Amino acid sequence: MSATPILEMRNIAKSFGQFYALNGVNLTVYRGEIHALMGENGAGKSTLMKILAGAYTASSGEIFIDGQPFAIKGPKDALAAGITLIYQEMNLAPNLTVAENIFLGSELQRAGLVKRHHMQEEAQKVIDRLGAQFRASDRVMRLTIAEQQQVEIARALHRNSRILVMDEPTAALSSRETQRLFELIKRLRDEGMAIIYISHRMAEVYELSDRVSVLRDGQYVGSLTRDTLSASELVRMMVGRPLSDLFNKERGIAVGEPRLTLRGLSDGKKIKPASLQVRAGEIVALAGLVGAGRSELAQLIFGVRNATAGSIEVDGKPVTIRSPRDAIALGIGFLTENRKEQGLFLDLAAHENIVMATLERDAHYGLLNRRKAQSISSEAINLLNIRVPHAQVRAGGLSGGNQQKLLISRWVAIGPRILLLDEPTRGVDVGAKSEIYRIMSQMAQQGVAILMISSELPEVVGMSDRVYVMHEGDIAGELAGADITQENIMQLATGADTAQPQVAHHE
């Protein structure tokens, strides 16, 4: 790395009205380094990078390129400085060819005619440099997500970019595609490019980064070099407390009577007759491998899928649940694992998403009670620490962690007796995870029965009072107390027959 930074951002601030997304943030990046930028969702990472790319204008602060002040007032200024930002959502024209996307906005022309053949030749040189398998003449819509990322990188190389920003680039990639991307990133670093890498995945940061800078609540916390990196220190910097405090499960909560009881519940297809029980004040996990039937069982309980056999009891009384409307009326909330496609209304405001499940309950002679809805949404935003500039902001514009908390707040608002949480911390950073765990623990303390589906074994072990493990649509066993270990869970999840742990039974 050279002695003079290729990029310095000094005391950057950005406000949206009275809300400060950034306040006095510093970032220093050198040539030939992979610089990871970390922080929980909503910490300001994307806002800082959008200022660097010219999508936002800083409220105050300075940017230096190669030690010289450089004003970035728009995307053209960023391109002139050799800066390219590859967003998590691809910024490509799918109906155009790879070459046309690489030259988009800077097409080669002669006498007013686009020189397509020359563009393809030049684009192919860049593609070959990357070692990509597609051709410059291929249409982008026919490429995989990983190949589309390579098109974005090829466009950056064609523009002679010196600073490449990648925002969660592996979110939609397979493990093999991820490794290929890592090899390419390291090669670009070795060629002298400065790469700013945004990720909440610790393993990626360990493998790639030469240095790491951390933001928290819109402020710069500090930087770590590769030889000083540790999970505990990173978590402490990101959330302001040590890794050991991540799980907020309160132990020793007095559990009450059974809130949710399943007796032989089945859909006749995926789910074999399932029996389980969750008591008031309990957090019970439903563990198992992908495809074991955990989500399908939760959908049976909530009325998304129709049961063909068995029964459901709520507070000891048999109930009939034919639809989610029936479940909500019984005080059951269901956090789906796919928040964007099955949970949130992305084009609606945050407060509208929060009160979606209580509109009918609070309506007066068929008219919406807007005052009540505003009160509920305000309380939820404060209770769950949802970071929004105002309640009218679109749900689709929020970070992943805040979207997840927004969806949880919808079910908190109904005053639930039973909460079904399907992968409650998927795709969120450690800070948002810790807050979600806190909310779960608080709900349990209030007597809510929580059934949590999770693929993260440390989460299952750290948060559960008991665990039911599913295998191929069947409940293979139940674990409690000291038997709740990752090894025992995997043994049941994989259908192993030998050395089975002691199974706990609750009448």
First to last CA, the chain: 65
Sign for the CA dihedral angle at 360, 366, 372, 373 comes to positive
Domains in the chain, CATH or no CATH each = 7-241 (3.40.50.300), 246-331+416-507 (3.40.50.300), 342-415 (no CATH)
- pLDDT value for 247: 67
Q: What percent of the chain has pLDDT over 70?
A: 79
Query: Which conformational region is residue 331 in: left (phi greater than 0), alpha (psi within -120 to 50 degrees), or beta?
Result: left
Q: Is the pLDDT of residue 169 over 70?
A: yes
Segment 276-298 shows an average pLDDT of 91
Cβ–Cβ < 8 Å for 49, 167 = yes
Overall size of the chain counted in residues: 507
Using CA atoms, how far apart are residues 492 and 175, in angstroms rounded to an integer?
A: 26
User: Hunting for tokens 């009072």 — which residue is that?
Assistant: 465
Mean pLDDT of the chain: 83
User: Hunting for tokens 């459901």 — which residue is that?
Assistant: 312
Q: If pLDDT is split at 50, 70 and 90, which confidence band does 236 have?
A: confident
Q: What is the pLDDT of residues 425-465, one digit of tens each?
A: 876 767 777 778 888 888 899 899 999 998 878 888 889 99
- pLDDT value for 499: 38
Who's near 441: CB < 8 A, 6+ residues apart?
A: 248, 249, 250, 283
DSSP class per residue in 16-69: ETTEEEEEEEEEEE-TT-EEEEE--TTSSHHHHHHHHTTSS--SEEEEEETTEE
More confident residue, 402 or 74: 74
- pLDDT value for 502: 44
Least confident interval from 83-92, 95-104, 396-405, 450-459: 396-405
Q: In terms of DSSP bridges, do strands 34-38 and 309-314 run parallel, antiparallel, or are they unpaired? A: unpaired
- pLDDT value for 389: 57
Backbone angles phi, psi at 492, to 5 degrees: -70, -40
Cβ–Cβ < 8 Å for 9, 48 = yes
Using CA atoms, how far apart are residues 166 and 74, in angstroms rounded to an integer?
A: 19
- pLDDT value for 3: 80
Tokens of 74: 């728009």
Cα–Cα distances in angstroms (integers) from residue 40 to residues 398, 429, 433, 435, in the given order: 13, 5, 9, 11
Q: How open is the CA angle 182-185-191, to the nearest 5 degrees?
A: 145
Segment 184-195 shows an average pLDDT of 92
